[in-house]
Chain A
Amino acid sequence: MATESNEEKGRYLRYLEVITGSLDDKRRYREYKARVRRLPENWRTAVEALERYLMHFGPMDGAGWISMYEDLADLVERSVADGTPVRDVFGEDPVEFVEAFMANYPAGRYRARERRRFTDAVRRAAGEAPGTEDEAG
């Protein structure tokens, strides 16, 4: 990458980040993990289960993935402060919540892209032009 170097440190960090990934993201992720550790135990259990679910869907990289965790921490800390029960936040069907939540971020968008790809492939296989819909009468 040919960029004009502004600072030696800046340049050094840029090289380093090619190898390590964004250091800023790593710092923010560590901060997030620290926030989770400070949660009451039942909330921590629920959040860690949600994290595990998130990890299984799509690569966690690219801009914006870290804000998913930060938004999650905001929600949960706010709920703890308000005294909202875990069930009221996660809902009767926690999968529904996590899917709605995830869809806003790159990890979720990765899935959305694959869904679109699949839908388009079926459309081509069915010999349809893009965007046509059957009018059922």
Chain B
Amino acid sequence: MGKQATEMLKGTLEGIVLAILAGRPAYGYEITAWLRDQGFSDIAEGTIYALLVRVEQRGLVDVAKVPSEKGPPRKVYSLNAQGREYLEEFWTTWSFLAERLEQLRKGGK
């Protein structure tokens, strides 16, 4: 993943993670693995973890501790009503941004 893509991703990562959680509950490791599969290879698992702690503190997700065979329990995150509302807002902002950028590109030809 290029430096430019990494930089652009930073601002949208929170929305991306919430969108993943809107599909189904997941734990940090799964989210990072999914992102890597999608080609977002530069994302540190620690960064995703920090983001999950943040959205938990802000009450956008619910957390369930699920026992694991090896190691401490896994924290499984799921999007709650407040999180869904926030995600809606994110998509609205995203659409606005994408539309404007597209206009700019067409105008620049």
- B51 contacts partner chain A, Cβ-Cβ < 8 Å: yes
Central interface residue in A71, A78, A103, by most chain B CB within 10 Å: A78
In the complex, A88→B79 CA distance in Å?
Answer: 25
In the complex the two chains form, is B47's CB within 8 Å of A104's CB?
no
Interface size on B, residues (CB 8 A): 21
In the complex, A100→B51 CA distance in Å?
Answer: 7
- B44 contacts partner chain A, Cβ-Cβ < 8 Å: yes
In the complex the two chains form, is B54's CB within 8 Å of A97's CB?
no
- B67 contacts partner chain A, Cβ-Cβ < 8 Å: no
- B46 contacts partner chain A, Cβ-Cβ < 8 Å: yes
In the complex the two chains form, is A71's CB within 8 Å of B53's CB?
yes
Main secondary structure of the interface of A (DSSP, over half): helix
Interface size on A, residues (CB 8 A): 22
User: How many residue pairs between the two chains, A and B, have CB atoms under 8 Å in the bound complex?
Assistant: 65
- A84 contacts partner chain B, Cβ-Cβ < 8 Å: yes
A92 and B74 contact, Cβ closer than 8 Å, known pairs A84-B29, A100-B50: no
- Tell me which residues across on chain B come within 8 A of A88, comparing CB atoms: 32, 44-45
Give residues of chain A (97-115) contacting chain B, Cβ–Cβ below 8 Å. 97, 100-101, 103-104
Closest Cβ of chain A: how far from B28's Cβ, in Å?
8
- B42 contacts partner chain A, Cβ-Cβ < 8 Å: yes
In the complex, A121→B42 CA distance in Å?
Answer: 36
- Say which residue of A78, A79, A80, A97 sits within 8 Å of B47 (CB atoms): A97
- Say which residue of A75, A91, A103 sits within 8 Å of B54 (CB atoms): A103
In the complex the two chains form, is A92's CB within 8 Å of B42's CB?
yes
- Tell me which residues across on chain B come within 8 A of A78, comparing CB atoms: 28-29, 71-72, 74
In the complex the two chains form, is A104's CB within 8 Å of B29's CB?
no
Interface of A toward B, CB cutoff 8 Å: 71, 74-75, 77-82, 84, 88-92, 94, 96-97, 100-101, 103-104
